[in-house]
Structures are given as C-alpha cells and as structure tokens.
Structure 1
Amino acid sequence: MTAVEFSAYARIVLQRWRLIIALILLATVTAYVTNAQGPVAHRATASLSVTPSIVEYWTGQAVERLLNNYALQIRSRPFASIVAKAAGLPEDALTGRIRAVAAPAEFRLSLEVDDADPELASTIVNLAANAFVSKIRAEISGRERQDIRLEVLEPALRPDSPVSPRPGRAGLGGAIAGALLGAGLAVVLTFWDGRIYTSGDAERAWNAPVLGAIPSGPPMIGRASSVARKDGRAFSRAAPIRPAGTPPLAGTRGSR
C-alpha cells in the first residue's frame, strides 16, 4: 500500500468516524452481554505419557500415529459410555464431552472435560484417564514385546476459576470485529458515494489536474488599484482582500 492509498483510507475513516464508533460500541455491548449470559463451565485437564521402549526416528513416527489413534478412541462414544458408567452417570451423559489432544513431540496425550461443577469435571477426567490406561494395558499385556509404555503423567486437579463465560475477552473481540466492520463499511459507502469532497477526488474522477479551487469560508472581494513606482511608472495590484460588506478602500492612480 502506497502513502497515497493509505492517506485516502485514513481520510475515509476520519470522515465516517461516527459510523465506526457506533459499530464498535454495538458489537462490544452485544458480545459482552451475550457471553455474560452463557453457562458457567470449569475445565479439568489430565495428561497421559505415551513413550516407546526404544526412542528412534521410526519409533517416533509410529508413536505419532498411535497418539492420534488414541485421541480418536478417547473421543469415541463407546469409551464415553465406559467412563459414564464408572462415574454413575447415564451412558450418553458424556458423549462428546471428553476431549483429547495429542502432542507427539512430547509423547503426551491431554484429556479435557468441561462441567459446571469443578469437582465433577476433575473426577470425570481422572476416571477417563485411568480407564484408558487400564484399557490399553489390558490390550498389550498378552503380547511378547511391549513397545509402548502408557501411564498417567499428571492427574487433573480441581479447577479454581471457570473458563467461561469471559465477557471481558468477548467484549474485546467484539470491539475489534466492530472496528473492522465499520472500516470496511465506510470504504464501501464512500465507494458508492459519487460526490466530490476534495481536489484529489476531482483529479481521480476526471483524470485531469485541478487548475483552481474555491476556498471555503465567507465570500471575499478583491479590487484592483494602481500605485506609483519610484521610476514614475504605474502598475496595478490587487487591493487587500476584504470580507463582503466592508466599505471599499480608495485607490490611487499614478501618472507617467
């Protein structure tokens, strides 16, 4: 973007600043109020360690794919039913609520659960972590070679503060969105507006230089007068510009 284009956009924003401010306020208030009325949720997180017996390049690649598969199993409906039974909840109570995020570079798998009750959130995620470790250990226990070691790296603690609602963050996001929307709308409205405000607008409209412009302000009146030069010749000059309604000044005419 050149300096000319930037100045043009800046002028558009300054011309329609009322519209932009109105949209910023509207978006901020709407986002703040909407988010503040949302349900309260506390997030509990537990971490699992998935390490290979021999750490090398090909083993690391296999563990990366294995972690992604483990994450899919944890998010599945059958596993959610197992955890729900262990927590004494209906079978479909946890469907879609247990999340898993794989971090292959750290050989780590994170489990997350959100709930209005912070104690229940930590209980559910710890049950899920222990249930999954027991499930995988049972699957590999009968193998002669156990290449993967799975254990609970960090159990979930009771969350101290909720992750939602956060009206302050939502209001800030609304303000940014309102500013972007207002600036874009100002540019569109200016593009649709065929009126000319400055000499630059006229030059761009007709692709020709501006030869003169009428200054803004009260009308001014000029009057020609003649004054004598030291060599005896006379020349004309414009009398001082005066506002309309002011009595004219008397001029003198020199002689040759």
Structure 2
Amino acid sequence: MAEAASKDQCTESETKESSEKSDILECAVCLQTCVHPAQLPCGHIFCFLCVKGIANQSKKCAMCRQEIPRDFIEQPNLLEKPQQTEVAEGFDGGYQWFYEGRNGWWQYDERTSRELESSYKKGERTCEFLIAGFLYIVDLENMLQLRRNDPSRRRKIKRDFATIPKKGIAGLRTDESTIDTSTESRNVEGRTEDNVVPITPSNTPQSPTSGRESPRDEQDIQATMERISSLQLNSAINEIDNSVESDQE
C-alpha cells in the first residue's frame, strides 16, 4: 500500500511539473522564455521586443512568414500585460534600470534589467544586449546605450528608484503611465491644445474679423478707386499720344 501511494505521489508531481513546463512560453527568435509575450494574428507567440525587431526588419512572422499588421506594435495582442509588481520591484531596495525616451524614461524589461544589474555589480565597464533585433553596447561608465552598427544612435540610461515617473516598460505603457501621457497634450495654462487659438504673427496679413476693423467710411474707398481710374486714363492717353507720334513720323 505504501509503495502504491508513493508511486501515485511521484506520478502526480511529474504531471504537475510537465504541465507547468507546458505553460511556459518560449520565444522562437531569442530561444528564451517569452518576456511580455505577444501573439500575432497568425497565432505564433514571441517576446514583444522580438516581434518589434521582426516588424521593423522583415515585417513578416518568423515562423509562417505571414505579414505583420502595421499597427501591431502600437496595439499589440499581449497575453500578459506588465504587472505592477514588475514595475515596483527592484534591486538593492527598489532600484531599476531606465533608458531615455521622448518626453520621459522607459524602464528596461525584466530580463535586460537583470543582466544590466549583474554587469553593474561585477564592475564591468561595458556589456552587450540584443534588443528588438539590434545589438546594443551599454557603457556603464558614461551611462549610455549605443547601437553597435551605428554608434550615433545613442541614448542615456540610468539606475534609479523603481517608483520614479516613467512612460512604461520596454515600449509598453503601464496603467500608471496613463496619467502622465494625458497631461502631455496640455499647455502651461492647463488648456488642451485643441482649444488654444494660435496667435497670428504681426507681419502676417489678416482679414478683418469685425466691422470695426473695416475702413472707417466709404470715402476712403471712393478716393482710392478714383486714383486708380485716373491712373488708367493717364496711361491710355499716353498710349494714344505715342501712337499718333509714330504715325506722324
């Protein structure tokens, strides 16, 4: 009886382990566990950053070669959204790694952050990472990230508290980043840009917007018209005189 019970327990544990392994999604591009798994319309699943690299280069699925929709990177089908625990947790009491973006900072994905932290702790000056299909060199002394095949493509990085304002994680906006993005479209006075009336430069011709900006009275207009007509008459008379003189000659 005891042997049968132990066999049953072993079978259950093996079944549980196999089911857990089957639940782990592996990326066919980086050959690692999927980070922020994204499913394409064709059904294949990759890391979001791996899909981003494919979309920027071949624009086709790495498995079946089906075309990737143009708006997929902006509106990806994520099987697991970035969790708040991933946003809040950090190293050494709450530190995380960030890279500079437009109007804010992005947090590195979990895997890249761990590798950066490991190189940082070892005192390494530089390290290399494959991100979105490109190989990057990270200069930990000057806190810069450079693309290996194009060093001019660079951006600042930093190691800071995980709780600082951020745009999101690895190009994916988190729930807390929506507050910051909603205020980006507002000006200093707090009004949305749609409601702001642009100020016309002083050297730009303007059409009158009211009757008060029209000429003061009709006399000015009549005087102007008379000048124009007199000029036309004078020019006509001169032409006649010239033609008469030419005939006489």
- TM-score w.r.t. the length of structure 2 is 0.17
- TM-score w.r.t. the length of structure 1 is 0.16
Structure with the higher helix share, 1 or 2: 1
| Higher RCO, 1 vs 2 (CA within 8 Å, ≥6 residues apart) | 1
